[in-house]
Homo-oligomer: A and B are copies of this chain.
């Protein structure tokens, strides 16, 4: 069993945005040459997150961001955090900053429609993604 730690950066362009990072993760898995094991994809930011969902129809991403904005509004009379990004912190905890994906035969065990997204909730910014590959 080996452990490989990698990172890459993502530039985001809007306040709220989901960016498909599947190819970057798959490239790292190929580079380290792990066949059976695990990928942990980790976002070290508190106003962003990682999720897995459909990338075939971009309307799915639209609808996810729409509903998150309704569930956690940008402005709210009860917010105390003075930076104006309380909603982004809440969304980060709801979606989560870490996803673990089983690898088999050197591939993420994704279903037909799955892709992995970096979720920006307080952009635009330059962000970092950590990727840890463990296995043999």
Interface residues of A (CB under 8 A from B): 1, 3, 5, 36-38, 40, 42, 44-46, 51-54, 57, 59-60, 62-64, 66-68, 71-72, 76, 78-83, 86-87, 89-90, 92-102, 104, 109-111, 113-114, 128, 130, 132, 134-136
A44 contact set on B, CB distance < 8 A: 109-111, 114
A102, B81: Cβ atoms under 8 Å?
no
B81, A42: Cβ atoms under 8 Å?
no
Q: What is the total number of copies of this protein in its complex?
A: 3
A109, B42: Cβ atoms under 8 Å?
yes
Q: Return the 9 tightest CB-CB contacts between A and B, nearest first.
A: A44-B111, A102-B132, A59-B80, A63-B86, A59-B81, A1-B1, A46-B54, A3-B36, A51-B93
Assuming the A-B contacts A53-B92, A110-B44, are A67 and B72 also in contact, with contact meaning beta carbons closer than 8 angstroms in the complex? yes
